[in-house]
Amino acid sequence: MKIHYLQHGKCDGPGSIKYALKAMDHPITSTLLYLNEALPPIRDFDWLIILGGDITHCPCAWRPYSKK
């Protein structure tokens, strides 16, 4: 199963989830939204993990991708 995760903040990584999936030999890819990386086509993964991030009252000031 091909796993992809979306990471909103630099300090908000997948942690132990990533190690567990690697131990099961699942290929893992990521999109670092805080670096404005492009999203992959949906056909490129089987399972999507969306990681949380900072909660702020003004997301556009801190997260330019939230304007999209």
**Residue 14 to residues 45, 54, 60, Cα–Cα distance (Å):** 16, 15, 23
> Residue 34 belongs to what domain range?
3-67
> What are the backbone dihedrals phi and psi of residue 52, each rounded to the nearest 5 degrees, phi first?
-75, -175
| CA–CA distance, 53 with 34 (Å, rounded to integer) | 10
pLDDT at residue 31 in the model: 96
- Phi, psi angles (nearest 5°) of residue 34: -65, -15
- Number of domains into which the chain is organized: 1
pLDDT, mean of each 10-residue run, the chain (68 residues):
92 89 95 94 96 63 57
- DSSP helix/strand/coil, 45: coil
Q: What is the pLDDT of residue 58?
A: 52
What's this model's pTM, rounded to 2 decimal places? Answer: 0.75
